[in-house]
Amino acid sequence: MKTLLITNSFDETSDFLLGDFAPGQVFRLNYDLIKDYEIFFNNEYYKIETPFLSIEKHEVAKVLWRKAFLGSEHFDLELTKFHAAEYKYILREIMNIAIKEGKFVLNFPDADQFQGKIYQNMVAKKYFKVPETNFISSQRSIEVLDKKIAKSLSSKNFSDGKVLYTTDISGKTLRPQNPFYIQEKISAELDVTVVYVYGKIFSYCLDRKLFNGLDWRSNPFELAKFWKEYHLSKDKLELIESLMSELNWCYGRLDFLLSGDDLIFLEVNPNGQWGWLDSNKINGLFAAIRDAIDPQLPIPISRLT
Of residues 208-227, which lie at the interface with other proteins (CB under 8 A)? 217-221, 224
CA distance 53 to 295: 16
User: What SS3 class is residue 255?
Assistant: strand
Q: Which of 11, 108, 127, 232 binds other proteins (CB under 8 A)?
A: 11
**DSSP for residue 206:** E
- Told to check if 39 binds other proteins by CB under 8 A, we report no
Nearer to other proteins, 197 or 239 (CB): 197
- Told to check if 165 binds other proteins by CB under 8 A, we report yes
User: What SS3 class is residue 110?
Assistant: coil
Per-residue x/- track, 169-188, other proteins (CB under 8 A): x--xxxxx-xxx--------
Q: How far is the CB of 256 from other proteins (least distance, A)?
A: 15
> Positive or negative CA dihedral for 191, 115, 197, 16?
negative
Q: Which stretch binds other proteins (CB under 8 A): 56-64, 80-88, 95-103, 239-247?
A: 80-88
Nearer to other proteins, 173 or 187 (CB): 173
Partner residues linked to 134 by β-bridges: 182
CB neighbourhood size of 204 (10 A)? 21
What's the first-to-final CA gap in the chain, in angstroms?
27
Angle at 200 between CA 239 and CA 113, to 5 degrees: 70
Residues 97-136 that bind other proteins (CB under 8 A): 110, 112, 134, 136
Q: Which stretch binds other proteins (CB under 8 A): 95-103, 122-130, 147-155, 256-264?
A: 147-155
